Amino acid sequence: MRSRLLQTTLVAFVAMSGMAAQCMSITDPLVVSVNVKDIKDTYNVTTGTINFDPGCKVKNSADYIDSKYNVSGGGRLVDVIVKVNGPYSGQIVGGQIRIGAAPGAVTTLATYSGPWASFTTPQSLIQNNVTMTLNPAGVNHLLSLVQNQQNVYICHGGSFSPAINAGNSIDVTIFAQVNATP
């Protein structure tokens, strides 16, 4: 009885393997998720400012997608992290992370606000955070730039209350993935 059950199971497995091979052509390319790397930077904050806009930093597409992969469309934003550096007892008000293909053509990716001290521990969209809001249009803009392997400008701005003291900076890191073929 046991050998008959084993034979039946083996026949069923072989038949299902054949059907799977017919459904998936052997020539279909392998598509994998590839991490987009190094979309991050540190923004120094000018002493005594209330409104800050330290400008934009550019990330070259050749630096964030390994050249051994061909981007095949599709992608996802994984996380956005903000971390502050230096002593300050005030608040960040209306912090904005903007992205685009050029400094004058940016879309807001995320906004955040809260006590400076709460950002001394990295705050992200997916953990430890109640102060960040994601903009779906910004996510689409970022994914379009990455999928088309364009340079990405990351711009940052917002306000402080009260004016900030010397020696402070803000780190912004964006994690994303794209579908690619090796």
Return the domain boundaries, the chain: 29-181
Q: Which of 26-40, 108-122, 130-144 has the lowest mean pLDDT?
A: 26-40
Q: Which pTM was predicted?
A: 0.79
Tell how many helices (H) and how many strands (E) occur in the chain.
3, 9
Average pLDDT over residues 16-31: 57
- CATH architecture type of domain 29-181: Sandwich (2.60)
The model's pLDDT over 108-136, given as tens digits with 9 standing for 90+, comes to 999 999 999 999 999 988 876 667 899 99
Written as one letter, the residue type at 63 is D
46-50, 63-67, 80-84, 147-151: range with lowest mean pLDDT: 63-67
| Most distant CA atoms of the chain, gap in Å | 85
